């Protein structure tokens, strides 16, 4: 599953845009037709064009939902990978990241990494796509700040705040450096978390078809309202708007709940892999929350609309709250945080 935090391909935005433009056109055409402002022949042609547009939009969304999982190295990696130099080559993976990757793979029961590729992405969240069961395998990527190994690496990376250089010897500068330095245990937890996600073939199957099917069903219901309920054209127009809005809100809730379940179970699987990985998860979320609290403080009034006092992202509805994930990890009984590879490996 490609991480929702990753950059979205342009065709995904176009697919969604085409769908909602088509739905809006349905509303307008039906309204005008109901008021007798459109000839019958023109109405039929308009409806045919709308159906074609909706088909293209839903098809594009289906491609977006599945392309990265089917072709992870050809789609996901080129889009989100961090590059450097004039030749735009992929950033070299630090040796300690490779070491942790191999160790966690072994713990999960994978004898080699031929089917799973590791790389560094350009974002701040880990990303995974594909599955070891698929012909093209899977990819797991670490956020760009995982390449930092010491304070000097952080200072030399060119990070600025709103175009201004950061005073690294200041109190805030030192705090920022600490939050941007990953430990080996954090790296291991992050990798284990993504490996647990790419084992969830059940979620991949649901995610592959849910959004296109949901949008198609919404379109058909909105399109059929004149035959189901005899209303005045203006009332029918309002009804269609309500259907579209309610459908979006319901999809948002269902999709969020499904993804939250995947994330929570992946956290649990990675944490129970080894005691040190549990601590790595706790450290990772603690540092992320601390960094967000610093950013909230530096942004002033704007920061209150971006982050909560605890450090959670306000605008990110799809991701579970980091405070919730942190509390779940803290609640795990450390006496039972080690499980066998057979329990971890649901899918070879």
- Give the integer Cα–Cα distance in Å for 14 and 17: 5
Residue 343 lies in a domain: no
Residue 130 lies in a domain: no
DSSP 59-80: HHHHHHHHHHHHSIIIIIHHHH
Residue 342: Cβ-neighbour burial (10 angstroms; 0-12, 13-18, 19+): exposed
Strand (E) or helix (H) holding 240:
helix 233-273
Residue 33 lies in a domain: yes
pLDDT at 34: 52
pLDDT at 269: 95
Longest dimension (CA), the chain: 74
Q: Evaluate whether 289 touches 298 at the Cβ level (below 8 Å).
A: no
Q: Mean of the pLDDT values across residues 173-200?
A: 94
89 three-state secondary structure: strand
Residue 96 lies in a domain: no
Residue 321 lies in a domain: no
Higher pLDDT, 219 or 192: 192
pLDDT interval class at 43 (50, 70, 90): low
Range of the domain at 242: 10-71+205-257
pLDDT at 330: 93
Residue 37 lies in a domain: yes
3-state SS string for 113-172: CCCEEEEEECCCCCEEEECCCCCCCEEEEECHHHHCCCHHHHHHCCCEECCEECCCCCHH
Backbone angles phi, psi at 214, to 5 degrees: -65, -45
Residue 336 lies in a domain: no
Tally of CB atoms within 10 A around 115: 16
For residue 87, pLDDT over 90 is answered with: no
Structure token digits, residue 28:
């307008």
| Residues 6 or more apart in contact with residue 140 via CB below 8 angstroms | 101, 116, 117, 118, 126, 127, 128, 191, 194, 195, 198
For residue 145, pLDDT over 50 is answered with: yes
pLDDT interval class at 337 (50, 70, 90): very low
Q: Mean of the pLDDT values across residues 245-269?
A: 92
Number of domains into which the chain is organized: 1
For residue 343, pLDDT over 60 is answered with: no
What percent of the chain has pLDDT above 90? 47
Residue 105 lies in a domain: no
Query: Over the stretch 286-332, which tens digit does the pLDDT of each residue have?
Result: 999 999 999 999 888 888 888 999 999 987 767 899 999 999 999 98
């Amino acid at each position: 599953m490609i991480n929702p935090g990753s950059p979205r391909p342009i065709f995904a935005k176009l697919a969604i845009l085409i769908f909602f433009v088509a739905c809006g056109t349905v509303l307008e055409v039906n309204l005008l037709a109901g008021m007798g402002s459109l000839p019958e022949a023109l109405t039929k042609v308009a409806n045919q064009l709308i159906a074609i547009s909706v088909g293209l939009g839903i098809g594009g969304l289906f491609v977006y939902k599945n392309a990265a999982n089917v072709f992870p190295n050809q789609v996901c990696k080129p889009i989100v990978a961090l590059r450097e130099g004039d030749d735009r080559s992929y950033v070299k993976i630090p040796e300690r990241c490779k070491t942790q990757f191999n160790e966690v793979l072994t713990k999960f029961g994978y004898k080699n990494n031929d089917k799973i590729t590791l790389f560094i992405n350009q974002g701040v969240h880990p990303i995974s796509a594909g599955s070891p069961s698929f012909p093209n395998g899977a990819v797991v990527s670490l956020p760009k700040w995982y390449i930092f190994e010491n304070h000097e690496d952080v200072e030399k990376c060119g990070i600025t705040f709103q175009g201004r250089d950061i005073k690294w010897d200041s109190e805030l500068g030192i705090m920022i450096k600490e939050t941007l330095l990953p430990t080996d245990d954090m790296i291991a937890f992050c990798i284990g978390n993504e490996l647990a996600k790419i084992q969830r073939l059940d979620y991949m199957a649901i995610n592959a078809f849910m959004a296109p099917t949901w949008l198609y069903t919404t379109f058909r219901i909105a399109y059929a309202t004149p035959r189901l309920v005899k209303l005045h054209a203006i009332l029918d127009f309002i009804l269609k708007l309500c259907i579209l809005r309610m459908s979006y809100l319901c999809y948002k809730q269902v999709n969020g709940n499904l993804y939250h379940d995947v994330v929570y179970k992946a956290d649990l699987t990675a944490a129970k892999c080894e005691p040190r990985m549990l601590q790595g998860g706790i450290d990772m979320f603690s540092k992320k929350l601390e960094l967000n609290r610093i950013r909230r403080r530096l942004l002033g009034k704007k920061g209150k609309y971006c982050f909560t006092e605890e450090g959670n992202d306000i605008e990110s509805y799809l991701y579970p709250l980091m405070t919730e994930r942190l509390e779940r990890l803290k609640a795990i009984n450390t006496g039972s945080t080690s499980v066998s590879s057979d329990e971890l490996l649901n899918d070879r």
